[in-house]
Chains A and B, each alone.
Chain A
Amino acid sequence: MTDPPLSPDLPDDRQLAAEYVLRLLPPDQHATFEARLEAEPALRAQVAEWTTRLAGMNAEFPDIAPRTAVKSALRTRMFGTEARRRRPSLLQRLGLWQGLSFASLALAGVMAWQLAQPPAPTTPAPLYVSEITAEDQSLWLLAVYDSGTAELRLTRTDGSAPAGRVLELWGIKGDNAPVSLGVLPDAGASSVVLPDPLRGSVTDLVLAITDVPLGGAPGGNPTGSVLAVGHGDRTVTRHTTKKGGPAAHPFECLIKRRRPRTPAAAPRAPCDPARH
């Protein structure tokens, strides 16, 4: 080769990163580089640097509006027909998160509170019930909130913390910062009295569980982004039971059997395990 040798000032990785960003690497090298990216933060930093460095040229890409039909086609391709779009699938979303999230939080859950018990003379304070589940269902908790005593009872039906970690429960009201509700015991049931700021209407209360180092979350705050899973109003949609209508969610039924003080609800929402 008559070409002059490459300058030693340009280390291989930096050069590879530039060529990767420009899509100049042959397919095999491209694949090798991409595999290295997963494991090498320094290489990812090189790629980010080159991406930003070359991004100045992006201004030369023209603005050309696509036909409006393209957007409609995209919508159909992604979300199907209007009828199907009306039925958001929480499980689909959770599955998506499971596939995509690489946040440090192994577990996240949400509670969609619902009125489990129609007003009855013997039970003046509403009782709310929901579940907290991890995306991959490796953790499953049943939660009951008694608005009369502000007591939140949790029953873990499945799952445990990873070795060396503990599960911490958080309550999030609206846009407020998460409030730690403490570390969950290893198994079985536990209960906590909700602090004042979280009481009142609990229908917009989100509960989340994170795994944290032994001793609790550093700085008293959860980290990572998986928690956001729990914010969807859709969860409420999925769990919504028509007021006064028949119990639609198996957890309601479960709770009614466990709560002897709700017999009045039974005739209106018969608890038939076979149904579930």
Chain B
Amino acid sequence: MAGLARPGFRPSCAFNGPNMAVVAKDSTLMPTTLADIEDMIARIALGDRNAFSALHDATSAKLFGTCLRILKDRAIAEDVLQVIYMKVWRHADRYASNGTSPMTWLITIARNSAIDRLRRIRATAEIGAEPDENLPASGPTPEQAAIARSEAGKITECLDELEPDRAGAVRGAHLDGLSYADLAQRHAVPLNTMRTWLRRSLQSLRECMAQ
């Protein structure tokens, strides 16, 4: 019955359906909940462009921030952002079986797309060394850090239990999309040492978070 009798789920005409106003209201007047996002993704799976537009409005800041953090270049991040939403449009029907929260799903697509682009750029040495000067520093602001701490909860606590440089390596991999080679260079340790650091840190994280 999935997809047919979901409460509040009403596929609509993509162009002039009455739910255009509803979606706009959701995204501008009321805080968008994860359930709203989920609903938008379900509608997108049916080709609903209004839902697609609403999803873009509700999530593009987060996904663009994700791209910028990893790519550190506004023009490239803008291009990757478009690619991300095209992927969302194409693969929205895969979300249901995915099992993660809708924002996690979207950010995962964004992060992977940004990292893939970063690696391709590196491979062709198309990008300069210096990042855009207008970009926020790579670390979170105190406010962002506070929000992150409250939202991230357990993993932040568990990262804090790691030695600072090892926690830094995990963050570097996840938040900056750094490879083992990047991390080894940044922390000035041999590649294999970095591998061991990371693997052990991940294992510790898993154990800590299971508690």
For residue B192, which residues in chain A have a CB less than 8 angstroms away from its CB? 1, 3
For residue B100, which residues in chain A have a CB less than 8 angstroms away from its CB? 48, 51-52, 55
Q: Which residue of B lies closest to A225 (CB)?
A: B3
Knowing A48-B98, A59-B152, A233-B12, say if A100 contacts B140 (CB, 8 Å).
no
Measured between alpha carbons, how far is A77 from B78 in the docked complex, in Å?
13
Q: Which of A56, A67, A228, A234 contacts B13 (CB 8 A)?
A: A234
Are B2 and A223 closer than 8 Å at their CB atoms? yes
Measured between alpha carbons, how far is A67 from B68 in the docked complex, in Å?
13
- Shortest CB-to-CB span from B89 to chain A, Å, is 7
Measured between alpha carbons, how far is A84 from B183 in the docked complex, in Å?
47
Chain B residues within 8 Å of A, Cβ to Cβ = 1-5, 10-15, 17, 45-47, 49, 53, 56, 60-62, 64-66, 68-69, 77-78, 81-82, 85-86, 89-91, 93-94, 96, 98-101, 103-104, 107-108, 111-112, 115-116, 136, 140-141, 144-145, 147-149, 151-156, 159, 171, 173-175, 177, 179-180, 192-193, 195-196, 198-200, 202-203, 205-206, 209
Measured between alpha carbons, how far is A75 from B89 in the docked complex, in Å?
11
Q: Which residue of A lies closest to B190 (CB)?
A: A3
Are B11 and A231 closer than 8 Å at their CB atoms? yes
Q: How many residues of A contact B (CB 8 A)?
A: 66
The answer to whether A39 has its CB under 8 Å from any CB of chain B is: no
Task: Name A207-234 residues within 8 Å CB distance of B.
Answer: 221-225, 227-229, 231-234
Knowing A66-B64, A86-B15, say if A100 contacts B104 (CB, 8 Å).
no
Are B64 and A65 closer than 8 Å at their CB atoms? yes
- Shortest CB-to-CB span from A197 to chain B, Å, is 14
Measured between alpha carbons, how far is A257 from B13 in the docked complex, in Å?
33
Measured between alpha carbons, how far is A204 from B78 in the docked complex, in Å?
41
Measured between alpha carbons, how far is A175 from B91 in the docked complex, in Å?
24
